[in-house]
Amino acid sequence: MLTLNYYVEITATPQRVWRVLTDAELYKRWAQAFSPQSQFEGEWEEGSDITFFDPDMGATRAVIDSVQPLHRLEFHHVAIF
């Protein structure tokens, strides 16, 4: 199985980064750079499912592995459709 890990340095406060990644409206604006209509549905809670989708590009389902607000947000994709 292919595993991809990404690490990015961002010049912003942890609070701002957290909000952009977890707030549905802010996520849409951020994600436009790589997926013009990207959205997510679900809750950012450990063990929960979350679906990322773009009407033109399809969707992926992920499981939330770890949530440590302002510090860590880990998930793994389990399906592409």
- Determine how many CB atoms are found less than 10 A away from the CB of residue 75: 19
Angstrom distances, CA of residue 26 to CA of 1, 32, 37, 78, 81:
32, 10, 12, 24, 24
pLDDT tens for the chain, 81 residues long, are: 677 777 778 899 999 999 999 999 999 999 988 888 999 999 999 999 999 999 988 999 999 999 999 999 999 989 887
Nearest to 65 by CA among 52, 78, 79, 80: 78
Q: Is the pTM of this model over 0.85?
A: no
The widest CA-to-CA distance across the chain, in whole angstroms, is 34
Separation between Cα atoms, residue 57 and residue 1, nearest integer Å = 22
What topology is assigned to 14-80 in CATH?
Answer: Alpha-D-Glucose-1,6-Bisphosphate; Chain A, domain 4 (3.30.530)
Per-domain boundaries in the chain? 14-80
Reported residue count of the chain is: 81
Q: Are 34 and 42 in contact (CB under 8 A)?
A: no
